[in-house]
Structure 1
């Protein structure tokens, strides 16, 4: 870990802060590789039952640091940037069987927007904007933007945003189904804290299986998805958290889930 990524773990919640505020948390190679390592650590840490991904300063993430790709001495090339930086970040976000909250604290542009949209639950405050900025400099969306965005908001709207590079407010993003919720700026931190505390005390095993089901639903047929639901429901029903949830319901008390 280096100071471009900050990690704190408290009350079963790992908070990951992108920390290059002077360049709006845009990614260079060091930062991208550091984020991958921290995500791996959070995945394997049994004391972590929820993850919050956010940014320091005025931005969530402005995407790729263009100074890196325009400096002959630093430029790793787009093949390496995508295959070694962004694609592994997206696959980690989607494969970690713990809820990941995208706490979008400021502008999310380019790869930064698509990293946010890959999270399980995305919350932004009312001053935030999302921008598929790629076309504005002659590029195409990456970081799974062409995968998640049309599934979130529909083919026509997603393609138009990718081509035009429109700036979308958090309120509009919520209306079109791009994100879970837009909240007032003054309520943002408390909303994130409450949400993280809630999911960190829920049955983590079940949440991970729900995530797996939604991942597979992107490409499965109805028949295959029904079979997978049956398989994973049986797995969920064998968990300690299921036994605790049923016992708490019958005994009319609050459940004490352990995450297994």
Structure 2
């Protein structure tokens, strides 16, 4: 019997292994999860992590505070005439999340609120774990998050809160997260002419950005479910909007503009 050269046999095995690696290629990156994205809305994670500790213990006259709300696909199709009759003057509506989710209710909510005379704006649920800030700003703008100077459109808002999919700060250190927010803000401003509103809570902002004061020029939409607005994140002297409750007379979360109707128009026009 003719014996095979062991060196040839080793070479054949080695070749097969290399060929297998070539066919398989490098390990594929995990596809970002958007499971439950329709239930991620402004404040959903803040209420979960920080709790709901009351509602404002002061009452404001109509000329002092303007009542508004925010909604997402979580609310379904909204009865906008009823919302307007209940006192709503403005609303923020979830448009997008990351670079892989557009709210299925966005069109009904965005166009319907405008039709009954509400000043409305869109917001983006940030996912710094899936792509850079500039990319997400572009995705947001392309899917309803733009701005126009018609006096009825608020600047788009960036929702920065606890990560519903994992690490609280999306696996980023404060410096990296501040750079991500800056990239989103700069891109949005370059594309629309407006700085985006930043939605956050003081506790999350301190923990994940190191309480950076870098965004004081952006309008602040502060979430705090308590009797007083409380401490603001560094860099802001006042909030533009206070999200003070996660339920009330209006669908979705409840908000007060920090001033009279004239301020709402100013915020819309820029």
- State the TM-score, normalized to the length of structure 2: 0.33
Higher alpha-carbon Rg: 2
- State the TM-score, normalized to the length of structure 1: 0.34
Q: Relative contact order, CA 8 A, sep 6+: which one is greater?
A: 2
